[in-house]
Structure 1
Amino acid sequence: MNRRTFIAGSLGLLASTALVGHALAAGKTITWWYESADPKQQGYIKSGIIEPFNAANPDFNLTIDYRGTELDKQMRVALLSGNGPDIVYTAGPTYVAPMARAGQLLALDDYVTRFGWTDRILPVFLEMGKYDGKLYALPKTYETLGLFYNKTLFEKHGWKAPTTIAEVEALADAMLAEKIIPFASGNANWRPANEHYVTIVLNAIAGPENVYKALKGELPWTAEPFVKAIDTLNKWWQKGYFGPNYFSLSDEQAFAQMATGQAGMMPTGTWQFQRVNTYFPPNNAEAGFVGFPSAEGIGGPVYPLGVGSTFSIAATSKNADGAAAAIDYIFSDKAYGSMNSAWPGEWNTPLSDLSKVTVDNGLPLYGETMKTLADAVGDNQYGYTSWTFLPPATDSYLVSGIEEVWLGRSTTAQFLEQLNATFLQEKADGKVPAIPAR
Structure 2
Amino acid sequence: MKRISGLALVATSASLALVLTACSGGAAGTAAPSGSPASSSAAAPAEARTFTIWDYESDDSAMGQAWAKAIEIFKSKHPEVTVKTEEQTFEQIQKNAKIVLTGDTVPDVMEYNKGNATAGQLAAQGLIAPLTDAAKQYGWDTKLAGSLSATAKYDDKGLMGSGEWYGVPNYGEFVGVYYNKDMFDKYSLKVPTTMDEFLKVMDTFKAKGVTPLATAGAEYPLGQLWYELVLANGDRSFVDGYQLFKSDVNWQGAPLTTGTQTLSDWIKKGYLAKNSAALKAEDMGVAFIKGTYPMMVSGSWWFGRLSTEMKANWGMFTFPGNKLHPGSSGNLWVVPTKAKNADLAKEFIDITLSKDVQNVLAAKGGLPVAGDTSAITDPKVKELTENFNSILSQDGLAFYPDWPVAGFYDVIVAQLQALANGNKDVNATLEGLGKAYTTGKADILNG
TM-score, length basis structure 1: 0.79
Corresponding residue for residue 234 of structure 1 = 264
Structure 2 counterparts to residues 26-425 of structure 1, below 5 A = 27-28=45-46, 29=49, 31-36=51-56, 44=65, 47-57=68-78, 62-67=83-88, 70-72=92-94, 75-93=97-115, 94-132=117-155, 133-139=163-169, 141-187=171-217, 191-215=219-243, 216=245, 217-247=247-277, 249-255=279-285, 257-258=287-288, 261-281=291-311, 285-294=312-321, 301-306=323-328, 309-339=331-361, 341=363, 344=364, 347-349=366-368, 351=369, 353-355=370-372, 358=375, 363-374=378-389, 376-377=391-392, 380-387=395-402, 389-425=403-439
Distance 1:110 1:266 in 2: 41
Q: Which amino acid is 2:398 matched to?
A: G
Cα-to-partner distance string for 1:254-297 (whole Å, 9 max, x where unaligned): 4454455542222221122123234443xxx3212111012xxx
Q: How far does residue 185 in structure 1 lie from its aligned partner after superposition?
A: 2.6
The CA distance in 2 between the partners of 1:402 and 1:62, in whole Å, is 41
- Aligned-pair identity in percent equals 22
Q: What amino acid is aligned across from residue 286 of structure 1 in structure 2? A: N
Residues 260/206 of structure 1: CA separation in 2 closer, same or farther (3 Å cut)? same
* 1:195 partner letter: G
Q: Aligned to 1:194, what secondary structure does the other structure show?
A: helix
Helix, strand or coil for the counterpart of 1:153? helix
Q: C-alpha separation between the residues in 1 aligned to 2:45 and 2:367?
A: 31
Shift in Å, 1:118? 2.7
- Kindly state the Cα deviation for residue 18 of structure 1 after the two structures are TM-superposed: 6.5
CA distance, structure 1, for counterparts of residue 409 and residue 327 of structure 2: 15
Q: 1:317 & 1:256 partners in 2: Cα distance?
A: 36
Inter-partner Cα distance in structure 1 for 2:150 and 2:358: 21
Structure 2: gaps of 5 or more residues = 1-31, 156-162
Structure 2 counterpart SS, 1:147: strand
Structure 1 distance, partners of 2:239, 2:250, is 10
Aligned length: 400
Deviation at 1:237, TM superposition (A): 0.6
Q: Which runs of 5+ in 1 are unaligned?
A: 1-14, 295-299, 433-438
SS in 2 for 1:181: coil
CA-CA distance at 1:182 after TM superposition: 0.9
Q: What TM-score does the superposition give when structure 2 sets the normalisation length? A: 0.78
Q: Which amino acid aligns with 2:435?
A: A
Distance 2:430 2:64 in 1: 44
Cα deviation, 1:229-268, whole Å, max 9, x if unaligned, reads: 1000110011000123424655455445445554222222
Match of 1:10 in 2: none
CA apart distance, 1:167: 1.2
Q: Deviation per CA, 1:372-409, whole angstroms, max 9, x where unpaired?
A: 3145336523223214x322322321111012122222
Deviation at 1:165, TM superposition (A): 1.2
> CA 1:393–1:16 in structure 2 vs 1: closer, same or farther (change >3 Å)?
closer
C-alpha change, 1:186 and 1:326, in structure 2 (3 Å) is same
